[in-house]
Structure 1
Amino acid sequence: MDHPSIVVHAPGLDGSRRVTADDEELGVASHLDDVVEILREAGLDETEVEENDIIQWQGGGPDDWPGLSEHPAR
């Protein structure tokens, strides 16, 4: 099965990061947990996003969320 090309883009000015799959916008993440949720909602069961070969992290890795000190309460 072919996997889509998933990209977590470089952080924006507010620290959030766009998530795309094959150039399709999936959502905007403000925290690592958001990336997992965005992928789950898109039908991609990728729970290990930190060290996953199909996910490309641009502008920093999974620990880089500048401007955001903690995950907002849900």
Structure 2
Amino acid sequence: MASAQPIVIYPPDEDGGRRVRIDGATVGRAFSVQDVARYMQEAGLQEADEMDVVRSGLIEWRGGGPEAWSR
């Protein structure tokens, strides 16, 4: 994946899910950093894991960082 746009993780919703957008397209809702890593893998970053999610400069966290999964 040659990402010109960051991966955007939106604020938690009422269920604790966070919308995930990669390359301008919404790819689903994540409930943990493991879910975000899975979406990244599906988008072509096969080596992405939970630590990559926490440290990655590709990810723009909105409404809290990787530790925020509830309102």
Structure 1 length-normalised TM: 0.78
Question: Of 55, 60, 68, which aligns to 2:64?
Answer: 60
Q: Which residue does 1:27 correspond to in 2?
A: 28
Write out aligned runs for 1:35-46 (5 A). 35-45=36-46, 46=48
Structure 1 gap segments, 5+ residues each: 68-74
* Percent identity for Structure 1 against Structure 2: 39
Which of structures 1 and 2 has the bigger CA Rg? 1
Deviation >2 Å, runs of 4+: 1-4, 44-47
More helix by share: 2
